Protein backbone atom coordinates (compact mmCIF):
# COMPACT_ATOMS: atom_id res chain seq x y z
CA UNK A 1 0.00 0.00 0.00
CA UNK A 2 1.28 3.48 -0.84
CA UNK A 3 2.38 5.41 2.25
CA UNK A 4 0.19 8.34 1.20
CA UNK A 5 -2.90 6.17 1.56
CA UNK A 6 -2.01 4.74 4.98
CA UNK A 7 -3.60 6.07 8.14
CA UNK A 8 -0.30 5.72 9.99
CA UNK A 9 3.37 4.91 9.42
CA UNK A 10 5.34 2.32 11.37
CA UNK A 11 9.00 2.82 12.12
CA UNK A 12 11.57 0.31 13.37
CA UNK A 13 13.82 1.41 16.23
CA UNK A 14 17.48 1.05 15.37
CA UNK A 15 18.29 -0.64 18.68
CA UNK A 16 16.01 -3.56 17.82
CA UNK A 17 18.84 -4.79 15.57
CA UNK A 18 22.49 -5.71 16.20
CA UNK A 19 24.75 -2.65 16.29
CA UNK A 20 27.23 -4.43 14.01
CA UNK A 21 24.95 -4.10 10.96
CA UNK A 22 25.67 -1.48 8.32
CA UNK A 23 23.20 1.29 7.54
CA UNK A 24 22.23 -0.44 4.32
CA UNK A 25 21.58 -3.67 6.23
CA UNK A 26 19.51 -1.92 8.91
CA UNK A 27 17.37 -0.06 6.38
CA UNK A 28 16.94 -3.19 4.25
CA UNK A 29 15.76 -5.18 7.27
CA UNK A 30 13.26 -2.45 8.12
CA UNK A 31 11.92 -2.53 4.57
CA UNK A 32 11.70 -6.32 4.33
CA UNK A 33 9.98 -6.46 7.72
CA UNK A 34 7.21 -4.17 6.49
CA UNK A 35 8.24 -0.97 8.23
CA UNK A 36 8.01 2.44 6.59
CA UNK A 37 11.07 4.05 8.12
CA UNK A 38 13.87 3.68 10.66
CA UNK A 39 14.23 5.56 13.94
CA UNK A 40 17.85 6.43 14.65
CA UNK A 41 19.29 6.28 18.17
CA UNK A 42 21.48 8.97 19.71
CA UNK A 43 21.95 7.63 23.22
CA UNK A 44 24.41 8.54 25.98
CA UNK A 45 27.23 6.32 24.68
CA UNK A 46 30.28 8.06 23.24
CA UNK A 47 29.85 6.17 19.97
CA UNK A 48 26.28 7.33 19.42
CA UNK A 49 26.94 10.92 20.51
CA UNK A 50 29.92 11.03 18.14
CA UNK A 51 27.51 10.55 15.24
CA UNK A 52 26.46 14.17 15.67
CA UNK A 53 29.97 15.29 14.69
CA UNK A 54 30.40 12.90 11.77
CA UNK A 55 29.51 13.37 8.08
CA UNK A 56 26.11 11.97 7.08
CA UNK A 57 27.17 10.90 3.59
CA UNK A 58 27.16 7.17 4.36
CA UNK A 59 23.68 7.32 5.89
CA UNK A 60 22.33 9.39 3.00
CA UNK A 61 23.70 6.91 0.46
CA UNK A 62 22.07 4.04 2.37
CA UNK A 63 18.73 5.88 2.41
CA UNK A 64 18.99 6.52 -1.33
CA UNK A 65 19.97 2.92 -2.08
CA UNK A 66 17.20 1.30 -0.02
CA UNK A 67 14.48 3.90 -0.40
CA UNK A 68 13.86 3.74 3.36
CA UNK A 69 13.95 7.10 5.18
CA UNK A 70 15.09 7.84 8.71
CA UNK A 71 12.10 9.86 9.89
CA UNK A 72 12.62 10.08 13.65
CA UNK A 73 15.37 10.18 16.26
CA UNK A 74 15.41 8.88 19.81
CA UNK A 75 17.67 11.37 21.59
CA UNK A 76 18.38 9.78 24.96
CA UNK A 77 21.86 11.31 25.25
CA UNK A 78 20.41 13.86 27.65
CA UNK A 79 20.27 11.16 30.29
CA UNK A 80 24.03 11.61 30.74
CA UNK A 81 23.98 15.34 29.96
CA UNK A 82 20.62 16.57 31.28
CA UNK A 83 19.11 19.98 30.69
CA UNK A 84 18.53 20.50 34.41
CA UNK A 85 21.92 19.43 35.79
CA UNK A 86 23.32 21.23 38.83
CA UNK A 87 26.57 21.50 36.84
CA UNK A 88 26.37 24.47 34.46
CA UNK A 89 29.00 22.90 32.20
CA UNK A 90 26.79 19.82 31.78
CA UNK A 91 23.85 22.10 30.98
CA UNK A 92 26.01 23.78 28.32
CA UNK A 93 26.89 20.35 26.93
CA UNK A 94 23.20 19.38 26.88
CA UNK A 95 22.34 22.40 24.75
CA UNK A 96 25.26 21.69 22.42
CA UNK A 97 23.96 18.14 21.96
CA UNK A 98 20.50 19.49 21.23
CA UNK A 99 21.81 21.94 18.62
CA UNK A 100 23.87 19.24 16.92
CA UNK A 101 20.96 16.78 17.01
CA UNK A 102 18.63 19.31 15.38
CA UNK A 103 21.16 20.12 12.65
CA UNK A 104 21.80 16.39 12.13
CA UNK A 105 18.07 15.72 11.90
CA UNK A 106 17.49 18.54 9.42
CA UNK A 107 20.35 17.26 7.25
CA UNK A 108 18.91 13.72 7.12
CA UNK A 109 15.25 14.67 6.78
CA UNK A 110 14.34 13.51 10.28
CA UNK A 111 11.03 15.07 11.28
CA UNK A 112 10.63 14.19 14.96
CA UNK A 113 13.15 14.12 17.79
CA UNK A 114 12.04 12.20 20.85
CA UNK A 115 13.29 13.90 24.03
CA UNK A 116 13.99 12.02 27.24
CA UNK A 117 11.66 13.36 29.93
CA UNK A 118 14.28 13.86 32.65
CA UNK A 119 15.32 17.04 34.43
CA UNK A 120 18.25 14.98 35.74
CA UNK A 121 18.98 11.25 35.87
CA UNK A 122 22.24 10.54 37.68
CA UNK A 123 21.66 13.40 40.15
CA UNK A 124 18.92 14.14 42.67
CA UNK A 125 16.29 16.45 41.27
CA UNK A 126 15.09 19.54 43.13
CA UNK A 127 13.57 22.98 42.52
CA UNK A 128 16.81 24.14 40.87
CA UNK A 129 17.00 21.24 38.39
CA UNK A 130 13.33 21.73 37.58
CA UNK A 131 13.78 25.45 36.96
CA UNK A 132 16.85 25.01 34.78
CA UNK A 133 15.15 22.21 32.84
CA UNK A 134 12.29 24.58 31.99
CA UNK A 135 14.68 27.37 31.00
CA UNK A 136 16.80 25.16 28.75
CA UNK A 137 13.79 23.36 27.31
CA UNK A 138 12.54 26.67 25.94
CA UNK A 139 15.93 27.22 24.28
CA UNK A 140 15.71 23.73 22.73
CA UNK A 141 12.26 24.39 21.30
CA UNK A 142 13.42 27.69 19.81
CA UNK A 143 16.33 25.90 18.11
CA UNK A 144 14.02 23.19 16.78
CA UNK A 145 11.52 25.72 15.46
CA UNK A 146 14.25 27.43 13.42
CA UNK A 147 14.83 24.16 11.55
CA UNK A 148 11.20 23.04 11.39
CA UNK A 149 11.84 19.98 13.57
CA UNK A 150 9.31 18.94 16.22
CA UNK A 151 10.31 17.68 19.67
CA UNK A 152 8.23 15.09 21.53
CA UNK A 153 8.67 14.05 25.15
CA UNK A 154 9.19 10.38 25.85
CA UNK A 155 7.36 9.27 28.98
CA UNK A 156 10.07 7.76 31.15
CA UNK A 157 10.53 5.35 34.06
CA UNK A 158 11.10 8.02 36.72
CA UNK A 159 8.40 10.01 38.57
CA UNK A 160 9.49 13.29 36.94
CA UNK A 161 7.73 12.48 33.66
CA UNK A 162 6.28 8.97 33.55
CA UNK A 163 2.81 9.95 32.29
CA UNK A 164 1.41 12.00 29.42
CA UNK A 165 -0.30 14.24 31.95
CA UNK A 166 3.07 15.18 33.46
CA UNK A 167 4.59 15.73 30.00
CA UNK A 168 1.71 18.03 29.08
CA UNK A 169 2.57 20.34 31.97
CA UNK A 170 5.73 21.32 30.08
CA UNK A 171 4.06 21.29 26.67
CA UNK A 172 1.49 23.79 27.98
CA UNK A 173 4.19 25.80 29.75
CA UNK A 174 6.24 26.28 26.57
CA UNK A 175 3.15 26.59 24.38
CA UNK A 176 4.79 25.95 21.01
CA UNK A 177 3.62 23.82 18.07
CA UNK A 178 7.17 22.43 18.00
CA UNK A 179 6.85 20.69 21.39
CA UNK A 180 4.53 17.77 22.05
CA UNK A 181 4.50 14.23 23.43
CA UNK A 182 6.00 11.03 22.01
CA UNK A 183 4.80 8.57 24.67
CA UNK A 184 6.34 5.20 25.40
CA UNK A 185 3.32 2.93 25.76
CA UNK A 186 5.25 0.28 27.73
CA UNK A 187 6.34 2.88 30.26
CA UNK A 188 2.79 4.23 30.49
CA UNK A 189 1.52 0.73 31.26
CA UNK A 190 3.92 0.44 34.19
CA UNK A 191 2.96 3.93 35.39
CA UNK A 192 -0.70 2.95 35.22
CA UNK A 193 -0.02 0.02 37.54
CA UNK A 194 1.91 2.31 39.88
CA UNK A 195 -0.69 5.08 40.08
CA UNK A 196 -3.89 3.23 39.24
CA UNK A 197 -4.38 5.42 36.15
CA UNK A 198 -5.91 4.08 32.93
CA UNK A 199 -3.47 4.26 29.99
CA UNK A 200 -6.17 5.37 27.56
CA UNK A 201 -7.28 8.17 29.89
CA UNK A 202 -3.69 9.31 30.34
CA UNK A 203 -3.14 9.36 26.57
CA UNK A 204 -6.24 11.54 26.18
CA UNK A 205 -4.50 14.17 28.33
CA UNK A 206 -2.26 14.74 25.33
CA UNK A 207 -5.01 14.95 22.72
CA UNK A 208 -3.88 17.18 19.87
CA UNK A 209 -0.26 17.14 21.03
CA UNK A 210 0.86 13.53 20.49
CA UNK A 211 3.26 13.35 17.54
CA UNK A 212 4.02 9.60 17.63
CA UNK A 213 4.28 6.73 20.11
CA UNK A 214 6.76 4.02 21.01
CA UNK A 215 5.37 0.49 21.18
CA UNK A 216 7.24 -2.08 23.27
CA UNK A 217 6.62 -4.91 25.69
CA UNK A 218 7.12 -4.57 29.43
CA UNK A 219 6.45 -6.59 32.54
CA UNK A 220 5.33 -4.99 35.81
CA UNK A 221 8.14 -2.94 37.32
CA UNK A 222 10.59 -3.50 34.47
CA UNK A 223 10.94 -0.94 31.70
CA UNK A 224 13.55 -2.18 29.24
CA UNK A 225 15.51 -5.13 27.89
CA UNK A 226 12.55 -7.53 27.96
CA UNK A 227 13.43 -10.82 26.18
CA UNK A 228 11.30 -11.79 23.19
CA UNK A 229 8.31 -13.83 24.30
CATH value at residue 131:
3.20.20.150
Closest of 181, 162, 169, 165 to residue 221, by C-alpha: 162
Given a cut of 70, whether residue 3 has pLDDT beyond it is: no
In a domain, 210, yes or no: no
Q: How far apart are CA 55 and CA 104, in angstroms?
A: 9
In a domain, 66, yes or no: yes
In a domain, 119, yes or no: yes
Q: 183 near 200, Cβ under 8 Å?
A: no
pLDDT tens, residue by residue, 6-56: 788 999 999 999 999 999 999 999 999 999 999 999 999 999 999 999 999
Confidence at residue 4, expressed as pLDDT on a 0 to 100 scale: 58
Give SS3 for 189: helix
Confidence at residue 218, expressed as pLDDT on a 0 to 100 scale: 80
Given a cut of 80, whether residue 100 has pLDDT beyond it is: yes
Q: How far apart are CA 133 and CA 192, in angstroms?
A: 25
pLDDT tens, residue by residue, 43-91: 999 999 999 999 999 999 999 999 999 999 999 999 999 999 999 999 9
pLDDT tens, residue by residue, 137-193: 999 999 999 999 999 999 999 999 999 999 999 999 999 999 999 999 999 999 999
Given a cut of 80, whether residue 5 has pLDDT beyond it is: no
In a domain, 5, yes or no: no
Helix (H) or strand (E) holding 42: strand 37-42
Work out the mean pLDDT of the chain and round it to a whole number. 94
In a domain, 4, yes or no: no
Given a cut of 80, whether residue 128 has pLDDT beyond it is: yes
Q: 154 near 114, Cβ under 8 Å?
A: yes
In a domain, 101, yes or no: yes
User: Which residue range(s) make up the domain with 34?
Assistant: 10-204
Confidence at residue 220, expressed as pLDDT on a 0 to 100 scale: 81
In a domain, 39, yes or no: yes
Q: How far apart are CA 180 and CA 189, in angstroms?
A: 20
Closest of 70, 62, 79 to residue 14, by C-alpha: 70
Instruction: Categorize the per-residue pLDDT at 1 as very low, low, confident or very high, splitting at 50, 70 and 90.
Output: very low
Backbone φ, ψ for residue 11 (5° rounding) = -110, 155
Q: How far apart are CA 78 and CA 16, in angstroms?
A: 20
Structural domain tally of the chain?
1
In a domain, 190, yes or no: yes
Amino acid sequence: MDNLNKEYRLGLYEKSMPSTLTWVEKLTIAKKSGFDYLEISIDESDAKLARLDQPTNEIKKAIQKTGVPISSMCLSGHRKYPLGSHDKEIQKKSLEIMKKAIDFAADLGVRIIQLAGYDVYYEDGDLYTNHDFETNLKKCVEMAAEKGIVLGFETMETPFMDTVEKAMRYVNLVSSPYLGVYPDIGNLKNASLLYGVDVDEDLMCGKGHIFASHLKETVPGKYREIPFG
